[in-house]
Structure formats: C-alpha cells, structure tokens
Amino acid sequence: MYRSLKRWWWLFTGPTIAAFIIGFVAPFALGVYLSFTKFTTVTKSRWVGLDNYARLLSDDTFLHSLWYTAAFALVTTVVINVVAFAVAYMLVKKFKGSNLYRSVFFMPNLIGGIVLGYVWLLLLNGILGHWARSITYSATYGFWGLVILVCWQQIGYMMVIYIAGLQSIPGELIESAEVDGATPRQTLRSVIIPLVMPSITVCTFLTITNGFKLFDQNLALTNGAPSRQSELLALNIYNTFYGRTGFEGVGQAKAVIFLIIVAAISLLQNRFARSKEA
Amino acid sequence: MATRKTAKLAAGLMAGALLFGVTACSGSSDDSADATGKVYYLNFKPEQADDWVALAKAYTEETGVQVDVQTAASGTYETTLKSEMAKSEAPTLFQVNGPVGLQTWKDYAADLSDTEVYAQLNDQSIALTNDDGNPVAIPYVMETYGIIYNKAILEDYIATDGAKITSADEITSFDTLKSVVEDIQAKKDDLGIDGAFTSAGFDSSSDWRFKTHLANIPLYYEYKADGIVGQPESIKGTYLDGFKNIFDLYISNSTTEPSLLSGKTIDDANSEFALGKAVFYQNGTWAYNDIKDQKVDDADMGMLPIYIGADGEENQGLTTGSENYWVVNSEASEADQKATKDFLNWVISSDTGRDTLTNTMGFVTPFKTFADYESSNPLVQADAAYTAAGKTAVTWNFTTMPSEEWKNTLGQAMLAYAQGTGDWDAVRATFVDNWATEVELSNQG
C-alpha cells in the first residue's frame, strides 16, 4: 500500500494541486507581476519596474486610508471581542430562551455586506436626520457608522466561537475555584480567560483581518465619501484600480503592500496570542 | 493480484478524470473563428438596455448575424469594460466618453474612416481622432442639458404680487434668474412647493451634475475667451466667481438643507421635480424618461440655459454635446470588426434602427440619415427652439477634464463648501491647481 502510494501520489494529489495552482498560485503570481507593469487590461502589460511603487508613495489617499483602516481595525477588534465575550459569558448560563438569544445574535451574519450597508445607511441617516446631517457628512461619522455596522454584524459570530470555548471548560474547575473561595471576578480572570485563550486567538485573528479587509460594507455605507476620507484600504485599492485611468499598476502595487501588511499583522498577532495559550 | 491491479487502475482512472475535469475548465475557446463574424456590444446606458437587446434581436432575425448586447450597471462601465476586454470573447463594440476616455482605450480603437456611421455624420469634426488623425470614435447621440423648469408653477409665480418677471422668456441672465429664484424661494409656501431648486444631491448618482456638467459652464467661457481647443495643460479659473454664484443659488434656494446634500440621490431630485415640489432642476434631455408621466405634464416642461453672469450670456443657448462615442475594438478579428461596422450601419440607416433610436430611446442623433425623424421629448424640443432662435449652444468641454479623479476631488470640495465644512478657496484650488497636477499624472508613463 505504502509503495503504491509512493508511486502514484501525484495522481491522487494532482487534481488538488492543479486546482490550487489555477485558483490560487497563478492569480497571485500574476497579481504580483502586474504590480511591476503598466496595463489597461490584464492581458496586455508592459514592464515598468518599481515605478508603480514610487507613484504610490506620493498618493495621500493611500496613506490616509492606511491609518484610517488601522484605527478601524483596532477599534472593531477591541469592541467586538469584549462584547462578544460578554454576551457569550451570559448566554452559557442556563436560563429560559438562551438558545433563542444565541440565534438572534448570530443572525446578522446571514445578511450580505452590501445589503447590510444599505440597510444601515437608511437607519443611520434616519437618526442623523434629526440634526440635519447624513453619514457622509464627515469621515468621523463614516468611521463610527462603520464601527457600529461591523460590530453589529460580527459580534454574534465571535460569540459562537466564545460559547464553544466556554462550554469546553470542565465544570469541576469552576466548582473547585468556588470551593476555594474565589470571587466570580477572580474565577473569570484566573480560570476562565486563560482556558478560553484558544478562542481568543481565533477571534482576534478573524476580527483583525476582517477589519483590514472590509470592503462591501464600506462601499455600501459611505463609498469613501466625503473626499475619499472614509475609504478603507480595500476600497482605496479598488478605486485606484478602476477609478483612475493609468493607475491600474499602482492599484496592483497597493494590493501587494496591503497583502504584506495584513500577513505581517496576522502572523504577529497569532504568535503573540499563542504564547498566552495555556 | 488481479483485483489489486484493477483497483489501482480504477483509482488511477478516477484521479485522471478529476485532473482532466479541472484542466478542461481552464481551456480556452479560440476555435470560434466564424467566417461571418459576430457582434458583441457593451452598452453604456442602462436606461436603454432592453431597447438595445430588442434591436440586436431584430438585426439577427433580418441578417442571421449574431449580436450580443451586455449592459454595465450604472456607474460601473469602466470597471466592466476593463474586465470584459481582457477576455478572449471581448466586446467588438464599446463606448468611450470623450477624448480622455479614448486616451485609455486608444490601443483598442479601430479606424472608422471607411464606415457609413462616419460618412453620415452631419458634422464630421465631432468624431474623435487618433494620433494619426483617423476617426476612431463616433458620437451616436447628442444630448442637451440646462435648467429644466416647471412652466405651470412659474406661471403661478408670475401671477403673484411683485413678481420679478412677466414671462419666462425674460430670464436671459444670471441676475434675472437670481432675483426670480430668490423671490420664488421666499414665496414657496404660497406656491405650495418645497423650494425653488431640487436638491443638489452629492451622492455619486447625482454629483456629476455639478462636478462635471455645471463646471463645464465656467470652463466653456474660459476656453472661449482664451481660444482654447482640446485639453489645456493648465487653466486659470477666470469664471470661477460665476460658478460660485450659480452654485450658491442652487444650494441656498432649494428643497433641502445644505448639510443633508451628501446623502441626496438623483432619484430624490427626479421625484422633487416630477411631483411638482420644486420649479427648477439642473439636468438634461435624458432625465425626461424619469420625470414624465407623473404630476408634471409634458407641455409644462421647459429648459433654461445655465447662466453664470458671464458677458454676452443673453445669447447663450443650452449645453449640447455628446459623451457617447462608439468605438470598434481593433483587437477583434477582421470578420468581427466588419460585422460590427455593418451592424452600426444598419442601426443608423434601417427603419427599425432609426425608429428605435429616435422614438424608443428618445435620442437626438448626429447622423444625416435621421433628417426626417423628430423627437417627442419636450426637452429636446426646447433645445431645438433655442437653436431656432439663434442662440449659441454651449459646447461640452467637460470631456477635456483631466481625469475622473479631478472631477471627484472637485465634487467633494464643492460638497464640503456646500455643507460648511470647507471653504470656496478649496474649490478654487481643486479646480485650478489640481488641473495641472492631474493632466501631468494622467499623461505619465
């Protein structure tokens, strides 16, 4: 059996490898290659070296959206994880209807980003209308509008992961902490949180990368208005690629930088959080 | 032993089948070099999507040539075009929006000098040419914009005490327009309206009316004064004060608080006009489809030129031009290019084509073949009336604006000014300084 596997492995892994190359490796390599070229359609490009990266440095909108996105990812990561954990902590207690609450909290995830953006656009504009304002009035409005929307959407999802983490803690541990005279706060800090660390790792990873990659909601809610001031990175790249003639390569270069940033941050976060796991 | 071999063989075959399945998906289909050629039109105007499909079907029934029509969703034409052109079955016919758009697609623009659509142009100089001077982009629809107004409400106003005018014909300058607009705004409750102007919405569905169309007026006067043809490297902004005047008039005499403008859409403006809640509405002949058959009768729709207080504006007509140019894809096969040119020829010369373009789509076309076709659109008729009265039509100079980015920056600066978060100096800076910057950037590389 082992010998035939050794001989025939390529036949078995071949389809997967082929699919992987066609679906992942090729577009990725093409994307990186295109960031060094000038092109209008992706099939007709001309090598220009580091030109696109040089032009990118003088683009103020890119730097602005970089900071804007970093702030956004930070705020949403903190808010989503704290609230999701709190909700999960409450909903693992046995009480009537706790399952119903779980479903209700999870539900926003079932709605697509664009639709969600438009629905929240109506809601937020309706409220801001009292002060004769709308969400695109300034970048600050857009920022908090996006934070509210994304929190509303993702808290339920992270909650599910935290519930799974909390339920896997053996009941005896909590009981023995109680017997030893620990206050609920001490139990939470010294017993529960260290034990759900794997869930925290996963959830912070998901929220950070989601924060950086956010696109649909941004597009539907503010579309970068006013003055491209509420533009997150992904939307900035999209607008550069499609919105500006002759800037397709620059957009591609931004995408490569974007990839490096997101990859670096998630690797660091993962290493840091794992080191805390029990 | 035999069973093991069979199992191995079967597994191998299955894996092989899977592998084959995957590669087959990525296989290209270059085997369709049909001798008769076919047409694939990527249409720009969503409002006429169904009409083009019907037209294509009629052509196929008549000649047997396959014509596919795709329409990009509103505001996504360039995006769609970029991805469609990268495909092996690329559009054989697409559109550019003027010289700046053509600059992007010049490598894909076929020479059209031997075509009927070029030969039949009333004025061949409106076709766009490539670097060698050959026509490569043909406008197929002439459009007009200005300030659409509601004649019925304006007559109600004229009947009020102390009205500034006795007839709409007296509005021939910015000053008259301003006094009328401000008086109407003051009397809006008596007239039963929400404001003189519809909301000057700065949502992306509506902001082109200002960052592009309104900004064309000061540009037109500057080009005229300085004798500029084509795209200048830089501009002076001589008429920006007039631009500010008209924009101030729009935002301070409307149905809407300026701080709400960022979220207002074209639909808001359409409905405000169509339901008779506002008298004036800056838009063009194409808006007729959205405002007809509601509260305002066709007979009550008129159109005024956009006045900004420039010298000699008494003779100013409406703003007329085109940003819809047909371009044949030069990368398509010879047969497809020929089929495409034949299709275009049919569109402008057959009865079906001419009837669809004029009556169904409501277009005014620049071709000789349309001499006996007259539009029923009252806004088009308003334009004809101005031309007949000897007024000078304002040309569409916004097609020379350096880039989309320039327009967007201007639009956002105008919005900031309107809602009070920015000042007029920023608008001036984005208009004048950014022009030179963007021209340079766009011509880079």
Q: Looking at the complex, report in whole angstroms how far the Cα of residue A271 sits from the nearest Cα belonging to chain B.
A: 36
Within 8 A of A132 by CB-CB distance, chain B residues are 257, 259-260
**Res B326: pLDDT:** 94
Q: Could A246 and B408 be called an inter-chain contact, meaning their C-beta atoms sit closer than 8 Å?
A: no
Rounded to two decimals, the ipTM of the complex is 0.72
Residue B22 has its nearest CB partner, among A18, A55, A242, at A18
CA A14 – CA B16 distance, rounded (Å):
9
Assess A61–B contact: CB distance below 8 Å, yes or no: no
Task: Give me the mean pLDDT over the A151-170 stretch.
Answer: 93
Interface of B with A in 257-296 (CB under 8 A): 257, 259-260, 262-263
Assess A226–B contact: CB distance below 8 Å, yes or no: yes
Within 8 A of A227 by CB-CB distance, chain B residues are 409, 412-413, 415-416
Q: How many residues does chain B have?
A: 445
The 10s digit of each residue's pLDDT in A91-149 is: 988 788 888 888 888 988 888 889 999 999 999 988 988 888 888 888 899 999 999 99
Query: Considering the entire predicted model, what is its pTM?
Result: 0.78
**Res B8: pLDDT:** 57
Q: Could A15 and B22 be called an inter-chain contact, meaning their C-beta atoms sit closer than 8 Å?
A: yes
Number of H helices, E strands in chain A: 14, 2
Closest chain A residue to the Cα of B441, Cα to Cα: A246
**Res A142: pLDDT:** 92
Q: Looking at the complex, report in whole angstroms how far the Cα of residue A146 sits from the nearest Cα belonging to chain B.
A: 16
Assess B89–A contact: CB distance below 8 Å, yes or no: no
For chain B, 445 residues long, the average pLDDT of each consecutive 10-residue run is 53 50 40 69 86 92 92 81 88 89 88 91 87 90 92 93 90 94 94 94 88 94 90 91 95 92 89 94 89 89 93 90 91 92 92 88 87 84 88 89 87 91 93 91 69
Query: Which amino acid does the sequence have at A109?
Result: N
Strand B93-96 and strand B316-321: the pairing is unpaired
**Res B19: pLDDT:** 46
Percent of chain A with pLDDT over 90: 46
Q: Could B260 and A22 be called an inter-chain contact, meaning their C-beta atoms sit closer than 8 Å?
A: no
Q: Which two tokens stand for residue B102?
A: 């053509």
**Res B210: pLDDT:** 94
For an interface test with A, which of B14, B104, B405 has the most A Cβ atoms less than 10 Å from its Cβ? B405
Q: Could A243 and B100 be called an inter-chain contact, meaning their C-beta atoms sit closer than 8 Å?
A: no
Q: Could A11 and B11 be called an inter-chain contact, meaning their C-beta atoms sit closer than 8 Å?
A: yes
Q: Looking at the complex, report in whole angstroms how far the Cα of residue A214 sits from the nearest Cα belonging to chain B.
A: 20
Within 8 A of A250 by CB-CB distance, chain B residues are none
Q: Could B82 and A242 be called an inter-chain contact, meaning their C-beta atoms sit closer than 8 Å?
A: yes
Q: Could B204 and A19 be called an inter-chain contact, meaning their C-beta atoms sit closer than 8 Å?
A: no
Q: What is the DSSP string of B327-382?
A: EEBTTS-HHHHHHHHHHHHHHHHSHHHHHIIIIIS--B--BGGGTT-----HHHHH
Assess B255–A contact: CB distance below 8 Å, yes or no: no
Q: Could B11 and A8 be called an inter-chain contact, meaning their C-beta atoms sit closer than 8 Å?
A: yes
Q: What is the 3-state secondary structure (H, E, C) of B75-134?
A: CCHHHHHHHHHCCCCCCCEEEECCHHHHHHHHHHECCCCCCHHHHCECCHHHCEECCCCC
**Res B6: pLDDT:** 54
Residue A225 has its nearest CB partner, among B8, B12, B262, at B262
The 10s digit of each residue's pLDDT in A233-250 is: 999 999 888 877 778 889
Residues 6+ apart with CB under 8 A from B272: B194, B198, B199, B255, B278, B281
Q: Which residue has the tokens 């929190």?
A: A151
Assess B412–A contact: CB distance below 8 Å, yes or no: yes
- The single-letter DSSP state of residue B73 is P
**Res B10: pLDDT:** 55
Q: Which residue has the tokens 């029923």?
A: B376
**Res B377: pLDDT:** 85
Q: Which residue has the tokens 């036949």?
A: A11
Q: Looking at the complex, report in whole angstroms how far the Cα of residue A253 sits from the nearest Cα belonging to chain B.
A: 15
Assess A168–B contact: CB distance below 8 Å, yes or no: no
**Res B282: pLDDT:** 95
Assess B403–A contact: CB distance below 8 Å, yes or no: yes
Describe the crossing of helices A139-167 and A60-91 by its angle, rounded to 10 degrees: 40
Closest chain A residue to the Cα of B418, Cα to Cα: A137
Q: Looking at the complex, report in whole angstroms how far the Cα of residue B233 sits from the nearest Cα belonging to chain A.
A: 17
Position A69 confidence tier, pLDDT thresholds 50, 70, 90: very high
- For residue B145, count other CB atoms closer than 10 A to its CB: 26
- For residue A55, count other CB atoms closer than 10 A to its CB: 18
Residue A132 has its nearest CB partner, among B22, B260, B442, at B260
Assess B79–A contact: CB distance below 8 Å, yes or no: yes
Q: Which two tokens stand for residue B340?
A: 């495409």
Assess B421–A contact: CB distance below 8 Å, yes or no: yes
Q: Could A134 and B82 be called an inter-chain contact, meaning their C-beta atoms sit closer than 8 Å?
A: no
Assess A127–B contact: CB distance below 8 Å, yes or no: no
Assess A58–B contact: CB distance below 8 Å, yes or no: no
Q: Could B444 and A44 be called an inter-chain contact, meaning their C-beta atoms sit closer than 8 Å?
A: no
CA B30 – CA B176 distance, rounded (Å):
64
**Res B360: pLDDT:** 82
- The single-letter DSSP state of residue B254 is B
Residue B23 has its nearest CB partner, among A18, A134, A245, at A18
The percent of chain A in helix, strand and coil, each rounded to the nearest 5, is: 80, 0, 20
CA B289 – CA B295 distance, rounded (Å):
13
Peptide bond into A194 cis (omega under 30): no
Q: Looking at the complex, report in whole angstroms how far the Cα of residue A274 sits from the nearest Cα belonging to chain B.
A: 38
Number of A–B residue contacts, CB under 8 Å:
106
Closest by CA to B203, choosing from B75, B305, B93, is B75
CA A91 – CA A105 distance, rounded (Å):
10
The 10s digit of each residue's pLDDT in A2-43 is: 788 788 888 888 899 999 999 999 999 999 999 999 887 777
**Res B23: pLDDT:** 42
**Res B15: pLDDT:** 52
Please report, for residues A6, A16, A149, A240, B208, the alpha-carbon distance to residue A11 in angstroms, rounded to integers and kept in the order given: 10, 10, 47, 43, 57
Please report, for residues A183, A200, B245, the alpha-carbon distance to residue A190 in angstroms, rounded to integers and kept in the order given: 10, 15, 68
Q: How many residues does chain A have?
A: 278
Residue A12 has its nearest CB partner, among B15, B25, B416, at B15
Closest chain A residue to the Cα of B4, Cα to Cα: A1
Within 8 A of B107 by CB-CB distance, chain A residues are 40, 44
Q: Looking at the complex, report in whole angstroms how far the Cα of residue B9 sits from the nearest Cα belonging to chain A.
A: 11
Residue A227 has its nearest CB partner, among B23, B259, B412, at B412
**Res B9: pLDDT:** 55
Closest by CA to B442, choosing from B410, B405, B411, is B405
Q: Could A227 and B413 be called an inter-chain contact, meaning their C-beta atoms sit closer than 8 Å?
A: yes
The 10s digit of each residue's pLDDT in A187-204 is: 888 889 989 999 999 999
